[in-house]
């Protein structure tokens, strides 16, 4: 379970640690601009992210959602659901085209290239990746994330350890950072609302792609703790260096260039990878939502949305972050409240269903593994668990079989073919005991191979 949870957490972090985070621009405008109170705001935002991350992923897993309305329509009334749905669609599109702008700004700051070059490269990568299925998209998002974690953690720790700041002068310097937000606590709420709006649609899909609700919840917890660590390091290090990086589009890149130009060169591509992570997450989820009733149109809609977003990306990365993000953040506060309340109310139900799925998984693994015995009693229990689950029977079976079959096929010690049920798995059928002369009984049973 932990391995699956870790994979979920990496994909989740890949969604929320996007261009604004990996570049440092979000941290600068949302927290550093308010001085030492901004650091308090970062703690508040991180705590809220842990709770909300667990809630989103578990809700997606519980409802086995393939897009966000499968959850939103079940946890809120029709009017609220519509508002949240439209807000999510707007967020997916807006964050998506801001990512194109971020790609252009990233390469422009490091290499002096025109912004349209980086934006065009980003467009091509996103469009090509969007042709893959959700498992491959999630894997790509999760694979890039560890590089960002390593770079940001190492860079920020280095900055903090090697600096000897004058905190009073830093508070004065932080006032020069331009932000459209009024105060630290509202900024913290707005930031987490923005993060939720950015992540919710694809996070629901990632949660829905995992049947184990406990693994999904643990993935949200691990992801939230990683987020807490990274955000605190980032905010403190940028605050310490605010006098030198406060006016940059990509303050983290400037921070790393201060350490060594070679590291800055490498970080350029790491940040570009995180911008790509968020862009593909946004446009992929947007395409899935817009083609909910007609999945065959996904590729056409996805490509069209990418091209329109590319055209809108030329307003400039820093300005887009300043004005588009706060509006989305206020919408996200409503989303956060609705999701948190639904998760809190359904905790017992989610726990029960999680245990049911874990047991069903163990039984089906026994049935499919040619090295193990699967009895008639096991079959009855598996049928009961399948019937009791909130997931439709056929989908429940398909999800379990797909997970277990993939594991068995990758195990070199198991000779398994999902198209050919194992012949040595038997149902043990008990018959009436035979009375012995000494008064004891002998239990009789016959082994019956399962019908293919």
* φ and ψ of 381, to 5 deg: -65, -40
Side-chain-side CA neighbours of 406 within 13 Å: the count stands at 6
pLDDT at 355 over 60: yes
Q: Which of 194-203, 219-228, 396-405, 415-424 has the lowest mean pLDDT?
A: 415-424
Q: Could you tell me how far CA 124 lies from the centroid of its own chain? A: 23
pLDDT at 132 over 60: yes
pLDDT in tens, 69-126: 889 888 988 888 888 888 888 888 988 888 898 888 888 888 889 989 999 999 999 9
Distance CA 60, CA 128 (A): 26
pLDDT in tens, 169-191: 888 889 888 888 889 999 999 99
- Cβ neighbours of residue 383 under 8 Å, at least 6 residues apart? none
Is the pLDDT higher at 440 or at 333? 333
Helices (H), 163-293: 167-174, 184-208, 213-240, 242-245, 251-259, 261-290
Per-domain residue ranges of the chain: 2-345, 350-426
Note the pLDDT of residue 185: 94
Distance CA 30, CA 35 (A): 10
Average pLDDT over residues 440-446: 48
Contact 33, 320 (CB under 8 A): no
Local confidence band at 414 (pLDDT 50, 70, 90 cut-offs) = confident
Distance CA 194, CA 209 (A): 24
Distance CA 40, CA 110 (A): 32
Is the pLDDT higher at 316 or at 189? 189
Q: In the numeric block, which tokens belong to residue 212?
A: 């184990």
Note the pLDDT of residue 445: 45
Note the pLDDT of residue 121: 94
Q: What percent of the chain has pLDDT over 90?
A: 27
Is the pLDDT higher at 92 or at 421? 92
Note the pLDDT of residue 135: 63
pLDDT at 215 over 60: yes
pLDDT at 451 over 50: no
Note the pLDDT of residue 446: 46
Closest CA to 89 of 417, 251, 333, 331: 331
Match domain 2-345 to its CATH number in 3.40.50.720, 3.40.980.10, 1.10.4160.10, 3.30.930.10: 1.10.4160.10
Local confidence band at 11 (pLDDT 50, 70, 90 cut-offs) = confident
The percent helix, strand, coil of the chain (3-state, each to 5) is: 75, 5, 20
Average pLDDT over residues 227-255: 88
Would you say the C-alpha torsion 179, 180, 186, 189 has a positive or negative sign?
Answer: negative
């Amino acid at each position: 379970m932990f391995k699956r949870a870790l994979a979920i957490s990496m994909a989740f972090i890949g969604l929320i640690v996007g261009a604004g985070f990996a570049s440092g621009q979000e941290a600068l405008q949302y927290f550093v601009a308010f001085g030492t109170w901004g650091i308090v705001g970062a703690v508040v935002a991180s705590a809220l992210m842990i709770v909300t991350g667990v809630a989103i992923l578990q809700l997606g897993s519980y409802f086995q959602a393939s897009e966000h309305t499968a959850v939103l329509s079940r946890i809120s009334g029709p009017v609220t659901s519509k508002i949240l749905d439209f807000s999510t669609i707007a967020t997916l599109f807006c964050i998506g085209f801001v990512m194109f702008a971020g790609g252009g700004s990233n390469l422009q700051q490091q290499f002096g290239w025109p912004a349209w070059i980086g934006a065009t490269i980003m467009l091509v990568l996103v469009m090509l990746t969007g042709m893959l299925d959700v498992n491959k998209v999630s894997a790509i998002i999760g694979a890039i994330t560890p590089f960002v974690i390593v770079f940001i953690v190492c860079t920020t720790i280095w900055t903090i350890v090697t600096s000897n700041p004058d905190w009073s002068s830093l508070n004065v310097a932080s006032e020069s950072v331009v932000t459209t937000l009024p105060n630290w606590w509202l900024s913290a709420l707005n930031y987490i609302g923005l993060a939720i709006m950015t992540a919710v649609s694809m996070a629901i899909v990632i949660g829905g792609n995992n049947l184990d609700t406990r693994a999904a919840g643990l993935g949200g917890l691990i992801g939230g703790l990683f987020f807490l660590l990274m955000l605190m390091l980032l905010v403190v290090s940028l605050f310490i260096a605010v006098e030198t990086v406060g006016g940059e589009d990509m303050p983290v890149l400037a921070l790393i260039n201060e350490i060594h130009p070679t590291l800055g060169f490498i970080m350029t591509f790491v940040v570009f990878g995180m911008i790509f992570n968020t862009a593909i997450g946004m446009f992929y989820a947007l395409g899935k939502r817009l083609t909910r009733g007609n999945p065959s149109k996904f590729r056409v809609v996805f490509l069209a949305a990418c091209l329109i977003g590319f055209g809108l990306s030329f307003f400039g990365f820093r300005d887009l972050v300043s004005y588009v993000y706060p509006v989305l953040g206020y919408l996200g506060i409503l989303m956060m409240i609705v999701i948190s309340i639904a998760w809190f109310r359904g905790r017992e139900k989610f726990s029960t269903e999680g245990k049911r799925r874990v047991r069903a998984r163990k039984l089906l693994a026994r049935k499919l593994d040619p090295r193990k015995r699967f009895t008639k009693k096991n079959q009855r229990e598996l049928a009961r668990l399948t019937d009791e689950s909130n997931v439709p029977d056929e989908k429940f079976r398909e999800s379990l079989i797909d997970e277990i079959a993939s594991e068995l096929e990758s195990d070199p010690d198991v000779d398994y073919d999902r198209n050919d049920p194992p012949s040595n798995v038997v149902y043990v059928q008990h018959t009436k005991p035979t009375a012995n002369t000494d008064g004891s009984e002998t239990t009789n049973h016959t082994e019956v191979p399962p019908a293919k």
